[in-house]
Structure 1
């Protein structure tokens, strides 16, 4: 059965900028900016006309007419400014709606590279959205109009233009210094902020343990120490940038005074008319105001640049990924061919020389001592990691050739640390399946022998599980996690110590569920350190130090260890006898 999904919005695109909608709005923003800045020239022109024509002529009608024209022009300027702000706000929202899904997908695909305690990529998207709708952007848009105002000042008199030009140069130097300070201090604070966030996450996540061990005061002191390290450079940067901003305001005011003084001197020398006095002061202030604002905005600009760099890096794998052809529903045949895995920077591989095959409707139990690589093997089989060498195939197709979402619909994965996602039990079982039906959810729960346990909860399937299922016991989380793995038409079940938190009755229910799943045609690969699951195994994979020691029927694999006793004579051997043999064979935890 082939189900072709709709084309991704990123299909065929290489640039994140090319995906952002509403780019025509940017054109209108610049058009409105031109109008706003041109209409602001009305005030100095009005001053010139009033002082040079109205006062000398004494014409009240001219004064009224000029005032009405100036008021109308300023009204249009305010309207255009509002429209510009609304367009920027809507463009920012459209930006977030377009970029956020791509960034979230990139985070999910490459979650390991994000690291612990780091700022989430979507937080950076929101920072960019806030920046795009802020006044800093309008200041940046207004900055290119500075030469036009300087030219007008030169037209009035060369002294006015020179004052504005010198002031712009001074403020530009001060802005560069402000940007350098902001960048240096922000870089210093970034690492400390990440450490602080990681410590806070750990304290909050393990609050019960911290309280039980009497570490509350120590945890608070450690957090405050790290927080002080993060705040110190931020405070220093804020103080220095504010000092430069105050100096910039002083420079602007001095230059305005200089323009008035120069204008007065020029009037006395009969080189200009008296109206240019006020006009030059207003134009100098309008020319230097964006430069002054940018000095205080350098930190916002630096943060936005850093956020955009991070967002682009996350989006690159998603934009570069090509669509994969959907494959037929697999039968569950799993082939592992000479697989090795060594993480980046590791001195030795975690797995090497893994080579086995699972037929459809087969139960394979993986055993081995701690550190043998059992959990890593399951992550490779779930396509969560790529082998350093070798190939893993599901029905002749290498896992990397499967569409990730399609493969996920056929693979049920239960990690050793059961992680439940969702607000209620039903949501935790169905996950984010938009087509989930109640009968499918209850069927999965019944198959996992969890239905009665769920009904015993306060609100049954609508019981809130809390963050990561912290309102449930370990055994309850294990049962619900198993039901989630069974949910849907799974052809390959990967279970990492599914009986770790189960009592004997729970283990019996697990074995019964595994047999039912196998009868439905699914293949199961189960990691365990407890013997009960060996009684239902069709094959056993024995690992040690990342190497495959043996693979085959339990009766042939267990005796291969020098310390092993005679193999199991039949699947019904008592759990205590099996446990003794497994422990002597090295069948401990991962």
Structure 2
């Protein structure tokens, strides 16, 4: 974050320069009043008054122009910061669920970046740039008379103490606001994803109560922060107005004693107000400043935790072997192994079926094989190279993955199959669709391959989504294809197409791993891996594993696989 901010060093120096000129021009009003009371009124000179009016108008025009330019520069710094960090923030956001599990905090980096940009475009930063010019105004007050300077200095110290007190009082409710906002966002996103379940099972009122509770806590924290900043802001305004009156009274006393001129009364009052205005504005903007600062620290920590991908040596495409060497898998945010001591090797042209009871670690193993969850122990290698040696983008081109819960993106069918490649090969898209048995079905849709499927593929049936997900996994002929429950929503025709797709991968000397409960998905596999309680209980040729089933293995599943094998034979 500091390195990114350093890119805008010249822009910040320009803002500082503009702030200096603006604060010097702010003296125009005091000098004008001083000249009017001490020069124009005693001399009764109208030409002098007209000249002063024209001069002050020009100075104020310059001041307004510089203030507008400063605001535009700060807004563009915020926009430039967002532009430089947006892609990095997206990458961190998309990696968070893999490192910490599926939690609502994944959207927090985007909110933090927006908060920083909004603060830079607000009136807060100009106030911070004006604060260092307080000594100039206080010094001029001392130049008029020590009593005037002392009064202004005491007021400045009191307002600065209020600023420090505001920082301490607002910090806790602002932190609580951030946490409650995340909880509220979690409930909202979950409700949107599961709108059908809420409607069908009458859960909307229950979730509405949870939302109201989280929203109430958010509002209470927001109210506490607003009460603090509002009360202290009102106190600072009242103190500033009182101080102006005190300065006027002191000036009047000095004039009575013939120690100052009448113009000094007004000029010193204006200078005092200008000296203390940045502190008052800082208190008013303190809540936004604190939120931006917290967002800055959170983003900085995340960028440190998820460093930018290093340039790695481009390895040749894998063509010969997938090997798993004593692999153990721990889900994100947990410490317990759900899969451990898994060891096997698959050569090109092999198809492995992974079976076992529920919660035996099958899907966890699938995530590890494709690099979604890194192996906490052991190694997973492609052609001898461990997964972490591959650049993520390069590795993805050699892997096809069909997760248990298929998620499609808003866009066309062609874009989803092509993994949103900006310049896809139409022939490769059609080849993947044909391998998945979807080509004819896609052509029957109103827009064919250009049919918009909506967010999450809402316009398609579950079976269609699964088969488009299969085509996406097969796009580009990846070497390793991992299919997790690929037939959970398929009919008989879809299962036959799945079998043909697995055979096609084997024929082109790829490697297929199929996780399945339904034996029909294993018709084309030649190897079988049996998992139970996260451990490997059997591995070998399909027929040998089925015939030599051990007592602790899921015998019912093995018998079903055996029956399926006889039927397919």
TM-score range, shorter chain: over 0.9
- Counterpart CA distance in 1 for 2:2 and 2:486 is 42
Matched, 1:470 2:463: no
Secondary structure at 1:573 match in 2: helix
Deviation, 1:549, is: 0.9
- Among residues 379, 384, 394, which one is paired with 2:382 in the alignment? 394
| Structure 2: stretches of 5+ with no match in the other structure | none
Matched, 1:573 2:562: no
- Counterpart CA distance in 1 for 2:401 and 2:4 is 37
Distance 1:481 1:467, change over 3 A: same
- Among residues 140, 144, 147, which one is paired with 1:159 in the alignment? 147
Deviations 1:491-511 (A, max 9, x none): 110110101111111101100
Residue 500 (structure 1) aligns with:
488
- Counterpart CA distance in 1 for 2:331 and 2:495 is 34
Deviation, 1:324, is: 0.8
Is 2:514–2:522's contact at 8 Å kept on the other side of the alignment? no
- Counterpart CA distance in 1 for 2:36 and 2:45 is 10
Residue 56 (structure 1) aligns with:
42
Is 1:334–1:393's contact at 8 Å kept on the other side of the alignment? yes
Residue 516 (structure 2) aligns with:
528
Residue 13 (structure 2) aligns with:
27
- Counterpart CA distance in 2 for 1:568 and 1:201 is 40
Matches within 5 A, 1:59-138: 59-113=45-99, 115-118=102-105, 119-138=107-126
Residue 199 (structure 1) aligns with:
187
- Among residues 416, 423, 433, which one is paired with 2:411 in the alignment? 423
Deviation, 1:219, is: 2.7
- Counterpart CA distance in 2 for 1:107 and 1:330 is 29
- Counterpart CA distance in 1 for 2:422 and 2:335 is 43
Residue 376 (structure 1) aligns with:
364
Residue 282 (structure 2) aligns with:
294
Matches within 5 A, 1:47-446: 47-113=33-99, 115-118=102-105, 119-319=107-307, 321-343=309-331, 346=334, 348-446=336-434
- Counterpart CA distance in 2 for 1:327 and 1:274 is 83
Is 2:99–2:333's contact at 8 Å kept on the other side of the alignment? no
Deviates more, 1:262-271 or 1:531-540: 531-540
Distance 1:221 1:566, change over 3 A: closer
Deviation, 1:56, is: 1.6
- Counterpart CA distance in 2 for 1:151 and 1:566 is 93
Name the TM-score, length of structure 2 as normaliser: 0.94
Deviation, 1:389, is: 1.2
Deviates more, 1:190-199 or 1:82-91: 190-199
Deviation, 1:516, is: 1.1
Name the TM-score, length of structure 1 as normaliser: 0.91
Distance 1:285 1:19, change over 3 A: closer
- Kindly report structure 1 stretches of 4+ aligned residues shifted beyond 6 Å: 564-571
Secondary structure at 1:489 match in 2: coil
- Counterpart CA distance in 1 for 2:454 and 2:189 is 16
Is 1:20–1:98's contact at 8 Å kept on the other side of the alignment? no
Deviates more, 1:115-124 or 1:301-310: 115-124
RMSD: 2.1
Matched pairs, number: 562
Is 1:445–1:483's contact at 8 Å kept on the other side of the alignment? yes
Is 2:442–2:449's contact at 8 Å kept on the other side of the alignment? yes
Distance 1:568 1:28, change over 3 A: closer
Secondary structure at 1:270 match in 2: coil
Deviation, 1:122, is: 1.7
Deviation, 1:64, is: 2.2
